[in-house]
Amino acid sequence: MTIACEFSREGHPQNGAGQAAYERTAPAFWRASDNRLLELARSGGTLSETLDSVCRFVEEVSGECRCGIYLIDWRGPTVRTGAAPGLAASFNAAICGLPVRSDSGPCARAAYLMTQVIAADLDSDPLWQASEFRSLALAHGLRSCWCTPICSPAGSVLGIFAILQRSPARPTPFQQNLIAGVAHVASIVIENARLAVTIRRSEAALAETERLSCTGSFVWRLSTDEVIGSGQLHRILELDESQPVTLGLIRSRIHPVDHPSVCEALERARSDGNDIEHEHRLLMPDQSIKYVRMTAHAARDPDGHLEYIGAIQDVTERRLSEAALGKARSELAHVARVVSLGPLSASIVHEVNQPLSGIVINASTCLRMLTADPPNVAGALETVRRALRDARLASEIIARLHALFTKKEPKIGSVELNEVTRELLTLLQSDLQRHRVSLRAELAEDLPPVIGDRVQLQQVILNLLLNALEAMNSIDDRSRRLVVRTEQEDGDRVRLSVSDSGVGLDFQIAERLFEPFYTTKRSGMGIGLFVSRFIIEHHRGWLRAAPNDGPGAMFSFSIPSLGREAMSSCCRAPRGP
Ligand code: ADP
């Protein structure tokens, strides 16, 4: 590089003729030197490479001097070597780690005071007599040291630019100008390097967060259909990271069954610019299936064009575990139903026995009538008819029990809660009598049907009824009363409550009863209420327990009925047991 050869190595005009030349050519020199410094700043090298070049440049144009750019680590705060290619390694090593204080040498002092420090003669200047830096510099043959803070635009000290010379000296105006240029360029270079580190760190953090949350991000420019996808998006779509993500590639991964709905969502977004929320499946090249959730928000790019910034989250594990949970709950519900069989068995025996003994009695009467002389055909016919009626009744009871205790997939339809309740109360009649329980059924007339699974709802009501009976088992000093009520509620809902005069419950533990395996019974399993609440919540309802004003407790649930609103939105099958 050639810069202004009229200048001496000390950086000032050599004689009177030179003075004129200096005044004539100085502006051009400053421009050239500033340009060169800016070129170095833009060179794209590493921080230390660029700072090294800056130091060499100054040493080249500024005469017999050595330069160092030292960074300040404000965590110490201490001085660190950034670049000092012309200074001895032993000198730099001793500078590195110096505390930022006013008495640890000119560099640390300049950082500490945030001002330029000119040590024109380290040997004689009384300020440095006690400083370790003085002996270090003198030992390396350096007598003067000029240190200038390199400040960020926000005003914090990023580093120090130091010029050291073998003889006592003060900076010339030329050198002061050069120092100012270097401090400015070095601040840009150091600040950029810091920003680059921050950006790299946040990119790494983002990539790690995306990996942990199985979420890939993307930007979709609608005007060109260009898609920019993160590394994690590539991994979710199982694409090579060097391969650019395109809308076509994204589409090719969508499960054929979900293809129309995704395309519709994207087309809708294209026309209305609303947020995208969509869950669908991907069919991977090895035929495995992934469940993904896409969320995107519309924004404008700097040119005002519409683009979507979004995320695609792989929710496969969650969906699979939900399915497993649903299956486990279904097993649990089945167990709960089978467990209910124990307390019910007396009723079942009674219910089935009644028509069976009716059949036996009618059949023997019929036999007697037919073998009489003369045979009583009309009487026999009547007894056969009665036997047939009893047989049908027995078969109906068995079918009901079968529905209740066999494991079935949820079957959604219109359910009459009053009818289900009546059936169960009939089934429990002998239990009620045996336990001396008086029953009051207050079933609302014209109760609208609900949408749901009949067997599941039967199971909930049965569980509430059996619990109520058990809660009254130990009560002997007052009457055992069971009140079953159905009523229509505001907002197209139906409520069913079972109230007893049993042991009751504390408000504080009312919620604990619904926890799985919470039981106070010696042979209880503690799953009935847990499963019941699960079922009711999947019927978009609630199930609660509360102590009665008097003795006992009341359990009630409320679910949407087949009203106007329910008709339109309730046809979603519960996924539960
Ligand atoms: P389990 O009947 O096997 O104990 P549940 O989940 O049906 O399981 O009930 C959990 C617990 O809730 C019972 O053990 C009992 O302590 C309490 N509980 C249920 N129903 C009543 C009721 N009607 N009155 C008082 N406590 C009740």
- Give me the mean pLDDT over the 400-423 stretch: 80
422 CA → ligand 1 middle, Å: 22
Residue 350 is predicted with a pLDDT of 67
Whether the CB of 52 sits within 6 Å of ligand 1 = no
Rounded CA-CA distance 538/559 in Å is: 10
Write down the pLDDT at residue 471: 95
How many Å lie between the centroid of ligand 1 and the Cα of residue 513?
A: 6
| Amino acid occupying residue 232 | Q
Question: Among the listed ranges 85-89, 141-145, 215-219, 373-377, which one has the minimum average pLDDT value?
Answer: 373-377
Ligand 1 site, residue 395, Cβ cutoff 6 A: no
Contacts for 561-564: CB closer than 8 Å, 24+ residues apart: 561/447, 561/448, 561/449, 561/450, 561/451, 561/488, 561/492, 561/493, 561/494, 562/414, 562/448, 562/449, 562/450, 562/451, 562/492, 563/448, 563/492, 564/492
Category of 183 on φ-ψ map: left (φ > 0), alpha (ψ -120 to 50) or beta: alpha
- In ligand 1, which atom is closest to the CA atom of 525? 3
Helix H or strand E segment including 488: strand 480-489
Nearest ligand 1 atom to the CA of 524 is 3
**In the predicted model, is pLDDT for residue 125 greater than 80?**
yes
Please check the confidence at residue 472 and state whether its pLDDT lies above 80. Answer: yes
pLDDT in tens, 483-515: 999 999 988 899 999 999 999 999 888 899 998
Which residue's CA is the nearest one to ligand 1's atom 12? 513
Atom 7 of ligand 1: nearest residue by CA position: 528
Nearest to 551 by CA among 482, 467, 495, 497: 482
With a 6 A CB cut-off, is 512 part of the ligand 1 pocket? no
Average pLDDT over residues 306-328: 87
Q: Which atom of ligand 1 is nearest to the CA of 552?
A: 24
**Above 90 in pLDDT, residue 315?**
yes
Instruction: Look at 350 and 132; give whichever has higher pLDDT.
Output: 132
pLDDT at 443: 96
Instruction: Out of 465, 475, 513, give the residue to mutate to test ligand 1, the one with the largest number of ligand atoms within 8 Å of its CB.
Output: 513
CA nearest ligand 1 atom 16, residue:
520
Handedness of CA 357, 359, 362, 368 (dihedral sign): negative
Residue 431 has pLDDT above 90, yes or no: no
Instruction: State whether the beta carbon of 467 lies less than 6 angstroms from ligand 1.
Output: yes
How many Cβ atoms sit within 10 Å of the Cβ of residue 252?
13
Maximal CA-CA distance, the chain: 163
Mean pLDDT of the chain: 85
* Strands annotated E in 74-192: 78-83, 117-119, 144-151, 157-165
Phi, psi for residue 36 in degrees, rounded to 5: -65, -40
Residue of minimum CA distance from atom 13 in ligand 1: 519
Do 27 and 6 touch, CB atoms closer than 8 A?
no
What spacing in Å lies between the alpha carbon of 105 and ligand 1's midpoint?
A: 80
Distance (angstroms) between ligand 1 centre and the Cα of 115 equals 79
- Mean pLDDT is lowest, of 3-17, 32-46, 104-118, 317-331, for 3-17
Mean pLDDT value of segment 72-101: 92
**H-helix segments, 218-315:** 231-237, 247-253, 259-272
Q: Tokens 């929320």, residue? A: 277
Which pLDDT band holds residue 312 (cuts at 50, 70, 90)?
very high
Amino acid 340: pLDDT? 66
d(CA 403, CA 531): 18
Q: What is the atom index within ligand 1 of the atom nearest the CA of 531?
A: 6
- Ligand 1 contacts CB of residue 503 (under 6 A): yes
For ligand 1, the distance from its centroid to the CA atom of residue 352, given in whole angstroms, is: 28
Q: Where is pLDDT greater, at 324 or 32? A: 324
Distance in angstroms (rounded) separating the CA atoms of residues 205 and 213: 12
What is the pLDDT confidence band of residue 2, given thresholds at 50, 70 and 90? very low
- The finding on whether 410 has its CB within 6 A of some atom of ligand 1 is no
* Closest atom, ligand 1, to C-alpha of 502: 24
Residue 524 Cα to ligand 1 middle (Å): 8
Residue 529 C-alpha to ligand 1 middle, in angstroms?
A: 7
Q: How far is the CA of 533 from the centre of ligand 1 (A)?
A: 13
CA distances from 293 to 228, 230, 476 (A): 18, 16, 58
Better pLDDT: 338 or 449: 449
Tokens of 318: 């969650």
Average pLDDT value for residue range 123-127: 92
Residue 148 reports pLDDT greater than 90 = yes
End-to-end CA distance of the chain: 83
Digit-coded pLDDT (tens) for 384-394: 988 898 888 88
Q: Can you give the pTM of this predicted structure?
A: 0.50
For residue 15, is pLDDT > 60?
A: no
Mutate to test the pocket of ligand 1, among 529, 535, 556 (most ligand atoms within 8 A of CB): 529
Cα(545) to centroid(ligand 1), Å: 10
Closest CA to 289 of 254, 262, 313, 259: 254
Q: Whose CA is nearest to atom 20 of ligand 1?
A: 467
Q: Is the CB of 502 within 6 Å of ligand 1?
A: yes
**Angstrom distance (rounded) from CA 391 to CA 396:** 9
CA–CA gap between residue 551 and residue 474 (Å, rounded): 13
Task: Give the whole-angstrom CA distance, residue 83 versus residue 51.
Answer: 6
Instruction: Tell me what the mean pLDDT of segment 470-492 comes to.
Output: 93
Q: Give 272-309 pLDDT, tens digit per residue.
A: 889 999 999 999 999 999 999 999 999 988 888 889 99
Distance between CA atoms of residues 571 and 562, nearest Å: 10
Residue 526 CA to ligand 1 center (angstroms) comes to 7
386 burial via Cβ count (<10 Å: 0-12, 13-18, 19+): middle
Report the alpha-carbon distance of residue 88 to residue 110 in Å, rounded. 21
d(Cα 539, Cα 461) in Å, to the nearest integer?
14
Determine the residue of 503, 519, 548, 554 to mutate for testing ligand 1's pocket, defined as the one with the most ligand atoms within 8 A of the Cβ atom. Answer: 519
Return the ligand 1 atom nearest residue 498 CA.
23
Tell me the CB-side half-sphere exposure of residue 351, using CA atoms within 13 A: 24
More confident of the two residues 420 and 399: 420
The fraction of the chain above a pLDDT of 90, given in percent, is 50
Q: What is the CA radius of gyration of the chain?
A: 45
Q: What is the per-residue DSSP string for 167-221? A: S-----HHHHHHHHHHHHHHHHHHHHHHHHHHHHHHHHHHHHHHHHTTEEEEEEE
Task: List beta partners, residue 546.
Answer: 554
Output the CA 519–ligand 1 centroid distance in Å: 6
Count of CB atoms within 10 A of residue 573's CB? 13
| 514 C-alpha to ligand 1 centroid (Å) | 9
Dist CA 95 CA 554 (whole Å): 81
Burial bucket for residue 202 (CB in 10 Å: 0-12, 13-18, 19+) = exposed
Question: Closest Cα partner for 557 from 498, 502, 509?
Answer: 498
Least confident of 39-43, 163-167, 479-483: 39-43
Q: Encoding tokens for residue 184?
A: 């400015």
520 lines ligand 1 (CB under 6 A): yes
Q: What is the pLDDT of residue 111?
A: 95
Q: Is 526 in the pocket of ligand 1 (CB under 6 A)?
A: yes
Distance between CA 216 and CA 540 in Å, rounded?
33
Q: 465 C-alpha to center of ligand 1: Å?
A: 11
How does residue 405 score in pLDDT terms, banded at 50, 70 and 90? low
The mean per-residue pLDDT over the stretch 409-421 comes to 87
C-alpha 467 – ligand 1 centre gap (Å): 6
| Closest residue CA from atom 23 of ligand 1 | 468
CA–CA dist 375, 386 (Å, integer)? 18
The Cα 366–Cα 387 span in angstroms is 9
**Residue 505 CB–ligand 1 contact under 6 Å:** yes
Whether the CB-CB separation of 316 and 514 falls below 8 Å is answered with: no
338: β partners: none
36-52 pLDDT, tens digit each = 777 777 777 788 888 99
The whole-number pLDDT of residue 487 equals: 96
